[in-house]
Structure 1
Amino acid sequence: MSARRVIIIGAGLGGLAASLHLAARGFQVEILEKNPAVGGKLNRIVADGFSFDTGPSLVTMPDILRETFAVAGARLEERLTLQPLDPICRYRWPDGAQLDVSSDLSKTIAELRRLAPQDEAAFFRFLSYGADLYAATAPVFLFNDFRDWRNLWRRLDGRLLRQLPRLATLKTVADRTAEFFSSPYLRQLFNRYATYNGSSPYRSQATFCLIPYVEFAFGAWYVAGGLYRIAEALAQVARERGVTIHTDAPVAEIVVEAGRARGVRLADGDFLPADAVLSNADSLYTYGRLLPSVRRRAYSDDRLARIEPSCSGFILLLGTARKLDALAHHNIFFSSDYPGEFADIFDRLTPPADPTIYVCATSRTDPTQAPPGGENLFVMVNAPAVCNAYDWDDIAADYRNRIVARLEAAGLTGLARSIVFEDRLTPKRFATWFNAHRGAIYGLSSNSLRNAFWRPPIRAREARGLYFVGGGTHPGGGIPLVLLSGKIAAAAVAADVGQA
């Protein structure tokens, strides 16, 4: 009997991870990637001696990455070099206050005692709260397929039952941080973690308070050579295990007959049959563009037009001719009006007037990422998903100037005149480069209980044999969760289609 054939649309981390798990089970796997290179949103731009990662900028929960290599018989340590970051991040406020957060708790506590001594005990209580949330929810929501309440009920144990009152709360991340901390600095710092899934701390569920715990418990890591090395290494292992990867191969349609996915039709008209199809394309894009002949009950065109996407981003890639010693590897320059910033993004659908600015300078850790004496700056502010109120082509230059001026005022004196290379990524460019629905980085927002826990399921309800993988489906965005989605999706295929 010949091996069953699985086609994966997209060579993002989720698709690559799924391919390794499927190949290990004996499936014949073929990946079709529309872009010239693998990686999806974890991509890279190289120019004039500067190298910029364009997607996720840190690794946490490294054991999940390690397991992804191991399932294919490869060792992480032989493929990649992980470097711990210290500090994890440098935070700055408009009044000049600064705090370095380290994975070394003693260093972080010393910083807290300097900036917010009254909240030292609250910090430990908050981490304990996050640890409880993680212990209760991870086995159910992260490491398994979450299909419906019946599926959840079968996995309930005493630990999760005890946490249900806190999980089912209507309180937000901001509500919880206000209960724990009196310092406005720490409230804003821990509210920021809601942006890890593209959401507002003033609307997303308090359950996401587990994210800081995960970062402290499992560490924050950089990959020597840039995080794009993860995509390169996974693709290399996949090819070694017999996975076929086609780049510059856009898919035009998932072909569904008699309620079952039968394969895909390429943009050039060729039909490729398959026993199962995994879409690592944006899940909302898949529903809206790749399933034209299917009655989409949950994701009709009308609902796709109304659904709230996550935030997008406005990104400047700046190569400088001099060092900026005030920077750490990761840096946050907070806005003076955090509630107003998120109201701009999600309510007024306008670029924030006073944005928080994230600056990643991997050259501070890895000199290979910039020419000698220079820095590679990945500068990002959260922005609304694409809407009809304005065109980013018309406003990007002015917004860029405002951001650079803000950074200079915050201490990066002379930044503008030191820039020798520049590129920018707008929500509009995200939409075209990655087929991201309205340019959203994380698919759906998590600004409601429904969206937080009921993302498009891994098993598509509209067609048997069709599955989703990646940040737009369960369990969510970020490197470890996307890798887990690949594992869960592969297990679903094996259970439904049968071992190859």
Structure 2
Amino acid sequence: MGHPAHHRRADDPLPLAADRHDAPARGDALKILVVGAGVAGLTAAADLARRGADVTILERAASHGGKMRHVMVDGRGIDGGPTVFTMRWIFEGLFADAGESLSDHLGVYSTNVLARHAWRAGGRLDLFADIEASVQAIGDFAGAADARGYREFCARAAAIYRTLEGSFIGAEKPSQLDLVRRVGLSRLGELWRTAPFRSMWSALGDHFSDPRLRQLFGRYATYVGASPWFAPATLMLVAHVEQDGVWLVQGGMRAVADALRGLAERQGVRLRCGADVTRIIIEGGRAKGVELANGERLMADAVLFNGDAAALPSLGAPGPKPAQRSLSAITWCVNAPTSGFDLAHHNVFFAEDYAEEFRAIFNRREVTAAPTIYICAQDRGLQPPPPGTPERLLLLINAPADGDSRDFNASDYIERTHSLLASCGLHIGEGSAVATTPSGFNALFPTTGGALYGMASHGATATLRRSGARGKIPGLYLAGGSVHPGPGVPMAAMSGRLAAARLLEDAAGRSTSVGFAPGRHSR
């Protein structure tokens, strides 16, 4: 890691069809319907079409992108979904496999400050792309022992990542036995040290005595919609992912979705927005097509579903067993001036009792009185906006995924949010805002309750319980943040690549395992 790289398919190239940039597709190409134009759907479609398939994406919304959406406030587009761009190698490999360069279609630049943190009880801390700079900052913030603990924590996170990168992240969903086999008997000690049977919060105590640092790094569990008290310590690998590069995107994260759409369409993919799929057609025990809300029936050789796997039963297809939902959120896309606190691009504001936040959400199904607040200051990059001028902000607090069973009123949570920010020194002036609650996210992504990460990654085997690329019936394939390898923009892209590769392997009558890894090309 740490340098541009590409992936490869773990198996030999399929004889199904030539790559589109090498030769035209065959006339008898597989006909594939992709349901959903999120990151995974766009990625899968690009790979499928590149390999010669006839691909149509059906998107319920008026535009592509899925959760990677733009919200218009005062005529300005604000990213209202994912805001962190990491694991750049996944996207570089996707474009390279199509004979293109990511940099020709997406402007990204690294940032020195990974995130800025502040506590209501006192203290501010920046994490830096340079580990030694962070060691120095943590030493000044919490003392020499915790600075040493941070260096050890980084080494541990990197080791976990190295163990799981090829065996889990870039490979098909494994069983526990498969994971052992992939890692190798000679490396079982490394697999054990990924600490799946310890909670993240417990493992962080090995490295940090200052509770504020355990808050800061425990928050990585929320990247997959989980509580650090129930998420496995394995998720400490997120720290290494960020340390390896957090990139700022010219045009915001919406530009990532635009680049993926462009790649897919250059491979010959057709995108139909406003196409609401209400049923997956199953004939003879096999997925054979879809039916739209307007009654139109579209038939295909296979259906690739890019949505929350929990929604499959509502479409007449078998889905996973019900599981505890991940976190939802209340967000505000804001266009307003700020003062009193020098924002970075990524900012986090903490209260004192972190455990109470997750007891409130997962036990009492409510938002705590003093929630952790994440702010993406989207105009803070190479040059901050002039003082006193409106800037684009995404404010987010965690909430229970109950948007399908009760209403949430965002105004009920404004005072507690602004109060905590003010106690940390940040004041947001008069401006315009658009709020989205769990109810709103459920309307955007039906049957999820507003859960933004699929099932909650709680317990040692939670990640292994996620659905894989194959659905429960032939002809149905799954991709997106609710399936393996998990939520997040790069993981969703990887799931799309895995689903496309699995579909093509099955179509060719082969059961060879598929996978991708940095540093090597695929076909």
Residue pair 1:224, 1:366 contacting (<8 A) in 2 also: no
Cα separation, 1, equivalents of 2:193 and 2:176: 17
Cα separation, 1, equivalents of 2:302 and 2:127: 45
Cα separation, 2, equivalents of 1:248 and 1:62: 30
1:412 to 407, 413, 426: 426
Q: Does 1:453 align with 2:479?
A: no
Partner of 2:257: 231
Residue pair 2:168, 2:174 contacting (<8 A) in 1 also: no
Q: Does 1:443 align with 2:454?
A: yes
Gaps of 5+ in 1: none
Partner of 2:514: none
1:467 to 447, 459, 477: 477
Partner of 2:520: none
Cα separation, 2, equivalents of 1:32 and 1:168: 40
Partner of 1:64: 90
Q: Does 1:400 align with 2:424?
A: no
Q: Quick one: structure 1 residues 350 and 213, their matched pair in 2 at CA, closer, same or farther if it must change by over 3 Å?
A: same
* Cα drift, residue 408 of structure 1: 2.0
> Alignment partner of 2:209: what SS?
coil
What letter corresponds to residue 372 of structure 2 in structure 1? T
Partner of 1:290: 315
Per-residue CA deviation, residues 352-392 of structure 1 (Å, 9 max, x unaligned), is 22210111101112779999922111100111111687521
Partner of 1:191: 218
Partner of 2:277: 251
RMSD over aligned Cα atoms: 2.2
Per-residue CA deviation, residues 214-249 of structure 1 (Å, 9 max, x unaligned), is 211x21011011110010111112112100000000
Cα separation, 1, equivalents of 2:430 and 2:97: 44
* Cα drift, residue 283 of structure 1: 1.0
> Alignment partner of 1:179: what SS?
coil
Size of the aligned set, in residue pairs, is 483
Partner of 2:24: none
Q: Does 1:112 align with 2:128?
A: no
Q: Does 1:271 align with 2:297?
A: yes
Residue pair 1:275, 1:497 contacting (<8 A) in 2 also: no
Cα separation, 2, equivalents of 1:477 and 1:389: 24
Matches within 5 A, 1:14-163: 14-117=40-143, 118-158=145-185, 160-163=187-190
Q: Does 1:241 align with 2:267?
A: yes
Q: Quick one: structure 1 residues 166 and 231, their matched pair in 2 at CA, closer, same or farther if it must change by over 3 Å?
A: same
What letter corresponds to residue 24 of structure 1 in structure 2? R
Bigger Cα displacement from structure 2, 316-325 vs 252-261: 316-325
Q: Quick one: structure 1 residues 366 and 384, their matched pair in 2 at CA, closer, same or farther if it must change by over 3 Å?
A: farther
Bigger Cα displacement from structure 2, 420-429 vs 379-388: 379-388
Residue pair 1:369, 1:376 contacting (<8 A) in 2 also: no
Q: Does 1:483 align with 2:483?
A: no
Cα separation, 1, equivalents of 2:383 and 2:300: 45
Partner of 1:427: 438
Cα separation, 1, equivalents of 2:258 and 2:187: 38
* Cα drift, residue 206 of structure 1: 0.9
Per-residue CA deviation, residues 181-217 of structure 1 (Å, 9 max, x unaligned), is 112121111111111100000001111111101211x
* Cα drift, residue 164 of structure 1: 3.2
Q: Quick one: structure 1 residues 251 and 317, their matched pair in 2 at CA, closer, same or farther if it must change by over 3 Å?
A: same
Per-residue CA deviation, residues 275-309 of structure 1 (Å, 9 max, x unaligned), is 111000211112x3112xx5x4x63xxx53xx201
Residue pair 2:339, 2:388 contacting (<8 A) in 1 also: no
Residue pair 1:316, 1:400 contacting (<8 A) in 2 also: no
What letter corresponds to residue 393 of structure 2 in structure 1? L
* Cα drift, residue 150 of structure 1: 4.8
Per-residue CA deviation, residues 394-429 of structure 1 (Å, 9 max, x unaligned), is xx212122212221232123x2xx222111010110
Cα separation, 1, equivalents of 2:364 and 2:156: 33
Gaps of 5+ in 2: 1-26, 510-523
Of Structure 1 and Structure 2, which has the larger fraction of its residues in helix?
1
Per-residue CA deviation, residues 26-50 of structure 1 (Å, 9 max, x unaligned), is 1111100000010000010123143
* Cα drift, residue 318 of structure 1: 1.4
* Cα drift, residue 125 of structure 1: 1.1
Q: Quick one: structure 1 residues 372 and 143, their matched pair in 2 at CA, closer, same or farther if it must change by over 3 Å?
A: same
What letter corresponds to residue 170 of structure 2 in structure 1? F
Q: Quick one: structure 1 residues 169 and 104, their matched pair in 2 at CA, closer, same or farther if it must change by over 3 Å?
A: closer
What letter corresponds to residue 409 of structure 1 in structure 2? S
1:364 to 366, 380, 384: 380
Residue pair 2:90, 2:494 contacting (<8 A) in 1 also: yes
Partner of 2:206: 179
TM-score (norm 1): 0.92
Residue pair 1:324, 1:375 contacting (<8 A) in 2 also: no
1:335 to 347, 351, 354: 351
> Alignment partner of 1:88: what SS?
strand
Cα separation, 2, equivalents of 1:127 and 1:14: 29
Cα separation, 2, equivalents of 1:17 and 1:70: 13
What letter corresponds to residue 443 of structure 2 in structure 1? T
> Alignment partner of 1:449: what SS?
coil
Q: Does 1:206 align with 2:217?
A: no
Cα separation, 2, equivalents of 1:181 and 1:321: 36
What letter corresponds to residue 310 of structure 1 in structure 2? S
Residue pair 1:261, 1:464 contacting (<8 A) in 2 also: yes
* Cα drift, residue 475 of structure 1: 0.3
